[in-house]
Chains A and B, each alone.
Chain A
Amino acid sequence: MTSKFFLACLAAASLASAEVKVIQNATIMSESAKGTFNGSIVVRDGKIIEVGQHVTVPPGATVIDASGQWVIPGIIDCHAHIGVDGGVNEGSVSVSSMVNIKDVINPEDIAIYRALSGGVTSMNVLHGSANAIGGQTIVLKTRWGSDAQGMIFEGAKPGIKFALGENPKRQGNPEGGARGGAPVNVRYPATRMGVEDVIREAFNEAVLYKAQWDAYDKAVAAGQHPLPPRKDLKLESLKEVLEGKRLVHAHCYRSDEILMLIRVADDYGFKIATFQHVLEGYKVAKEIAAHGGGASTFSDWWGYKSEAYDAIAYNAALLAKKGVLVSVNSDSLNGELMRRLNLEAAKGMKYGGMTREEALAMVTINPAKQLGVQDRVGSIEVGKDADMVIYDKDPLSIYSKVQKVLIDGTQYFDRDTDVSGRGAKEQEKQKLIQEEKAEDAKTASPRRRAQ
Chain B
Amino acid sequence: MRLPSLFIAFSLLASAASYDSVLIHNVDVYPVTSPMIHNTSVLVIDGKIAAIGAGASGKGGIKVVDGKGLRLYPGLIDSGTELGLSEVSSERMTVDTGELGDFMPQLRALIAVNVESEHLPVVRVNGMTSVIAIPAGGGRGGRGGGSAQLISGQAALMHLSGWTWEDMEINRSAAMYLTFPSIAGRGGRGPQSDDDISVAAPPVSFTELKRQYDAQIQKLNDFFDAARQYQKERAANAPGFKKDLKMEAMIPVLEGKMPVAITAMRERSIRDAIAFSEKQHIRMVLLQPHDVMKFAPELKAKNIPVILGRTEALGDSEDSPYDQVENIPAALYNAGVKFAFATFNNEFARNLPFNAGRAASYGLPKEEALKAITINPAEIWGASDKIGSIEKGKYADMIITNGDPMEIATQIKYLFIKGKDIDLSTKQTRLYEKYLARP
A and B touch in the complex (CB under 8 A): yes
B432-A314 in contact (CB<8A): yes
Q: A304-B140, A313-B428, A396-B408 are in contact. Are A128 and B91 (CB under 8 A)?
A: no
Chain B 412-439: CB-based contact to A (< 8 A → 1; otherwise 0): 0000000000000001110110011010
B350 at the interface (CB under 8 A from A): yes
B301 interface hit (Cβ, 8 Å):
no
- Beta-carbon nearest neighbor of A302 in chain B: B347
Chain A's closest residue to B434 (CB) is A283
Pairwise interchain contact A333-B199, C-beta atoms closer than 8 A: no
A335 an interface residue at 8 Å Cβ cutoff?
yes
Closest chain A residue to B90, Cβ basis: A305
Q: A286-B438, A303-B118, A321-B436 are in contact. Are A336 and B192 (CB under 8 A)?
A: yes
* Closest beta carbon of chain A to B357's beta carbon, Å: 4
In Å, the complex CA distance between A67 and B431 comes to 44
Stretch in B36-44, B163-171, B310-318, B382-390 touching the partner: B310-318
Per CB-CB distance, the 6 closest pairs between chain A and chain B, nearest first, are A180-B199, A398-B357, A312-B428, A314-B432, A349-B409, A346-B408
B window 354-376: CB within 8 A of A: 354, 357-358, 360-362
Q: For the complex, is A37 an interface residue (Cβ under 8 Å from B)?
A: no
Closest approach, in angstroms, between the C-beta of A350 and any C-beta of chain B?
5
Binding site for B on A (CB under 8 A): 81, 88-89, 110, 113-114, 117, 128-129, 167, 179-182, 282-283, 285-286, 300-306, 308-314, 318, 321, 330-337, 339-340, 343, 346-347, 349-350, 352, 396-401, 418-419, 422, 425, 429
Interface assignment of B145: CB less than 8 Å from any CB of chain A? yes
Residue numbers in B under 8 Å from A400 (CB-CB): 361
Closest A residue to B86 by beta carbon equals A303
**Known contacts A312-B428, A336-B312; is-contact A303 B88 (Cβ 8 Å):** yes
Other 11 A-B pairs with CB < 8 A, given A81-B193, A314-B428, A332-B193: A88-B194, A302-B347, A304-B88, A304-B89, A304-B90, A305-B195, A331-B195, A336-B314, A350-B409, A350-B410, A352-B432
B258 close to A (CB within 8 Å): no
A-B contact count (CB 8 A): 146
Size of the B side of the interface (Cβ < 8 Å), in residues, is 54
Q: Contacting B409 at CB < 8 Å: which of A89, A167, A346, A418?
A: A346
Query: What is the bound-complex CA distance between A306 and B195, given in angstroms?
Result: 12
Residue of B nearest to A339 (CB): B322
B408 engages A347 (CB within 8 Å)? yes
B208 contacts A by Cβ under 8 Å: no
Question: Judging by beta carbons under 8 Å apart, are A340 and B312 in contact?
Answer: yes
Instruction: Assess whether B256 is interfacial by the CB under 8 Å rule.
Output: no
Report the minimal beta-carbon distance from A130 to chain B, rounded to whole angstroms: 9
A429 with B194, Cβ < 8 A, contacts A179-B199, A300-B350, A304-B88 known: no
B192 touches A337 (CB 8 A): yes
Asked if A399 and B190 sit within 8 Å, CB to CB, the answer is no
Is A331 within 8 A of B194, CB to CB? yes
- Collect the chain B residues with CB atoms within 8 Å of residue A179's CB: 197-199
Query: Which B residues touch A321, using CB under 8 A?
Result: 436
Q: A88-B194, A331-B195, A350-B410 are in contact. Are A422 and B321 (CB under 8 A)?
A: yes
Q: Judging by beta carbons under 8 Å apart, are B409 and A182 in contact?
A: no
> Among A306, A311, A343, A401, which residue has its beta carbon within 8 angstroms of that of B91?
A306
- The reply to whether A396 and B409 form a contact with Cβ atoms under 8 Å apart is yes
The interface residues of chain A lying within 8 Å CB-to-CB of B119 are 303
| Residue of B90, B195, B346, B406 contacting most chain A CB atoms (<10 Å) | B195
Is A337 within 8 A of B193, CB to CB?
yes
> Is the Cβ of B192 less than 8 Å from the Cβ of A333?
yes
Residue of B189, B347, B410, B429 ringed by the most chain A CB atoms within 10 A: B347
Whether the pair A282, B314 counts as a contact (CB closer than 8 A) is: no
Chain A residues, Cβ within 8 Å of B90 = 304-306
For the complex, give the distance between the alpha carbons of A314 and B425 in Å: 13
User: Which of B122, B145, B195 lies in contact with A180, CB distance below 8 A?
Assistant: B145
Indicate which residue in A181, A285, A339, A340 contacts B435 across the interface (CB closer than 8 Å). Answer: A285
Given contacts A302-B428, A304-B195, A336-B314, contact A401 B89 (CB under 8 A): no
CB distance from A284 to the nearest CB of B (A): 9
A303 to B410, CA, bound (A): 23
Contact (Cβ within 8 A) B362 A401: yes
Verify if B222 is at the interface (C-beta below 8 Å from A): no
A318/B192 contact (C-beta < 8 A), A346-B409, A398-B361, A399-B357 known? no
Q: Give the Cβ gap from A288 to chain B, nearest Cβ, in Å.
A: 12
Q: Can you sample 5 A-B contacts with CB below 8 Å?
A: A114-B322, A336-B314, A343-B408, A350-B411, A400-B361
* Distance, CA A44 to CA B94, complexed state (A): 57
With both chains docked as a complex, state the minimum distance between the C-beta of A5 and any C-beta of chain B, in angstroms.
Answer: 12
CA distance in complex: A110, B317 (Å): 10
Contacts A282-B432, A282-B435, A331-B195 given: A110-B321 contact, CB under 8 Å?
no
Q: Which residues of B contact A300 (CB under 8 A)?
A: 350-351
Which residues in window 277-335 of B have CB below 8 A to A?
Answer: 312-314, 318-319, 321-323
Q: Please, what's the 1-or-0 string for B234-272, where 1 marks a CB less than 8 Å from any CB in chain A?
A: 000000000000000000000000000000000000000
Q: B347 and A303: CB pair below 8 A?
A: yes
Q: Is there an interface contact between A334 and B189, defined as CB atoms closer than 8 Å?
A: yes
Give the distance in Å from the alpha carbon of A313 to the alpha carbon of B88 in the complex.
17
Contacts A321-B436, A418-B321 hold; do A336 and B313 have CB atoms under 8 A apart? Answer: yes
Q: Which residue of A lies closest to B411 (CB)?
A: A350
Binary flags per residue of B120-144, CB closer than 8 Å to A gives 1, else 0: 0010000000000000000010001
Minimum CB–CB distance for A382 against chain B, Å: 30
